[in-house]
């Protein structure tokens, strides 16, 4: 009998692009509209990254829930859409991971929506590390993490963390150790949060496979940033 799911699912933590509320740290170098359009391009390229792996299903955790229709219109066929509403980032992560574990996935990896230049090899490494560890984090260059993977419910990992600070990964690893969970990390990478991050991406694009980040390349070209 054909299985209706793979062992692993990658859930992209996403919000619908909205001028004035999305990627505000890129303004005023970019207008609010341009910043929102850039986030949308990064988001779509993140979907493409996951869909191209072949070994993981794609899910999208949507917050706030009322933006669900946007994602229904812009995600690949077969994407699992989860409406999430939490008090903070940790609550949203815990809800998304727990829901997908309840569906029967053996491994669930939550991924940021704004770092599609992430090497696919890092995602594969995260999946493989979960064979021997209960938790895996992708080390972010800003002190946070770009992915969090689990193969069981561990709500404690997402409680009492100073979200959106440089202490997130350190606190999360300490929390894992405190509750007796074996944790591992994948190599450092960055998200597109600042103009400096964006300039770095522009500099690195020529070295990437031309078939990657097609939406971001198109938008940057339109904005005359390439």
Average pLDDT over residues 62-87: 91
Distance CA 178, CA 173 (A): 9
Mean pLDDT of the chain: 94
- DSSP, residue by residue, 36-67: HHHHHHHHHHHHHHHHTTSSEEEEEEESSGGG
At residue 97, the pLDDT reads 98
At residue 116, the pLDDT reads 95
At residue 64, the pLDDT reads 80
The CATH number assigned to the domain with range 8-222 reads 3.90.550.10
Average pLDDT over residues 5-29: 94
Distance CA 38, CA 219 (A): 7
Whether residue 21 is predicted with pLDDT greater than 60 in this model: the reply is yes
Distance CA 158, CA 182 (A): 15
At residue 113, the pLDDT reads 95
Domain ranges of the chain: 8-222
Q: Would you place residue 209 in the very low, low, confident or very high pLDDT band (cuts 50, 70, 90)? A: confident
Distance CA 173, CA 77 (A): 35
% of the chain exceeding 70 in pLDDT: 98
Distance CA 63, CA 66 (A): 8
């Amino acid at each position: 009998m054909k299985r209706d799911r793979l062992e692993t699912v990658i859930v992209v933590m996403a919000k619908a692009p909205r001028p004035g509320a999305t990627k505000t740290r890129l303004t005023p170098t970019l207008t609010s509209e341009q910043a929102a359009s850039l986030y949308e391009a990064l988001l779509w390229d993140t979907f493409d990254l996951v869909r191209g792996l072949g070994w993981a299903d794609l899910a999208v955790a949507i917050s706030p829930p009322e933006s669900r229709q946007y994602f229904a219109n812009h995600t690949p066929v077969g994407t699992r859409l989860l409406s999430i509403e939490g008090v903070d980032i940790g609550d949203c992560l815990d809800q998304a991971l727990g829901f997908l574990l309840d569906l029967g996935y053996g491994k669930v990896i939550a991924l940021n929506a704004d770092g599609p230049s992430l090497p696919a090899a890092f995602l594969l490494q995260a999946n493989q590390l979960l064979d021997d560890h209960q938790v895996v984090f992708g080390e972010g260059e800003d002190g946070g993490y770009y992915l969090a993977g689990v193969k069981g419910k561990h709500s404690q990992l997402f409680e009492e963390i100073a979200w959106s600070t440089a202490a997130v990964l350190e606190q999360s690893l300490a929390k894992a150790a405190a509750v007796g969970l074996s944790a591992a990390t994948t190599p450092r990478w960055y998200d597109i949060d600042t103009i400096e991050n964006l300039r770095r991406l522009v500099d690195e694009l020529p070295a990437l496979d031309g078939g990657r980040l097609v939406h971001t390349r198109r938008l940057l070209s339109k904005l005359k940033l390439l």
